[in-house]
Amino acid sequence: SLLKTEALITDLETAEMIKYASNSFLATEISFINMISRLCEKVGADVEMVSKGMKLDKRIGGKAFLSAGLGCGGSCFPKDVSALISIFNDNDVKCDILDVAEKINKEQRYFFIEKIKNVLGDLKDKKISIFGLSFKPETDDIRESPALDIAQVLIDAGSVVMGYDPVARDNVARVMPEIVFVDSIDDACRESDAVIIATEWDVFKNYDWSR
């Protein structure tokens, strides 16, 4: 049977603004929960439980983009936030909230690198595996992938970066040939000083990490 949905008829300017505003709002949610995650680490709270509790509030809802991580990537969110900021600036309307959301999103992956440094110290000659190289699971799309930003910083610091992704390997190899690709999660773990799970593929969620 055909699904019923609501159609909204608008002028072109409004339709464009709906698209930019929606994606920017979702990206802002991601930046918000990532800042909450930083605070949770300081005060000893569990950000996953905070997120779960927030989603129980019906004004927020279970589908809210409140999963802390490395920040958003892909072809839509970063681009649309940047575009909406430009529209604000072009029309002399100040919008600090989007400026901050964009800044937090860019910083988040580097904040994570600092966590690695706190454990490993000097990153030179360290072997670090990154599991998941696409910007989100179920795709080979690597545009604006936080994993690749992290990989580049590690490579520039002198680390040997090994990569594993269910489908994005060929796309990554074309743009970052410095990454050493592995075929086995077990082998990568055995050879690594650290492992970064950068994308929530089911293969990583369901893997027996006690091994």
137 alpha-carbon distance from chain centroid: 11
CA dist., res. 105 & res. 30, Å (int): 8
61 φ, ψ (degrees, to nearest 5) = 95, 155
Beta bridge partners of 181: 163
Torsion of CA 59, 65, 71, 77, to 10 degrees: -100
Torsion of CA 178, 168, 153, 188, to 10 degrees: -70
* Length of the chain counted residue by residue: 211
Using alpha carbons only, give the angle 194, 201, 73 rounded to the nearest 5 degrees.
85
Q: Which of 40, 72, 76, 189 is catalytic?
A: 76
Number of other residues whose CB lies within 10 A of the CB of residue 116:
20
Is 76 labeled as catalytic in the residue annotation? yes
**Residue positions annotated with a catalytic role:** 76
